[in-house]
Amino acid sequence: MTTVTQMKCACPSCVCIVDIASAIKHDGKNYCSDACANGHQQGSGCGHEGCGCDG
């Protein structure tokens, strides 16, 4: 049996991979940052290097 420990951030435009144990949880989904988890209310990206996510 394989245990998944990492997955893509649940934000559609984000390419970050998150460790499930330390991910930010929101509505049962795993996110890489508060910005992604909160739907980019301030219009900012996740801030992770190499990711062009802006919500």
- Give domain limits for the chain: 6-37
Using the 8-state DSSP alphabet, how is residue 35 labeled?
Answer: H
Q: Distance (Å, rounded) from C-alpha 17 to C-alpha 29?
A: 13
Please, which pLDDT band fits residue 44 given cuts at 50, 70 and 90?
confident
Band the pLDDT of 54: cuts 50, 70, 90.
confident
pLDDT of 31? 98
Residue 13: its pLDDT value, please?
Answer: 94
Predicted local distance difference test score (pLDDT) of residue 20: 97
Strand boundaries in the chain, DSSP class E: 6-8, 17-19, 24-26, 29-31
pLDDT at 12 over 80: yes
Fill in the amino acid letter for 9.
Answer: C
Answer yes or no: is pLDDT of 29 > 80.
Answer: yes
Antiparallel, parallel or unpaired: β 29-31 and 24-26: antiparallel
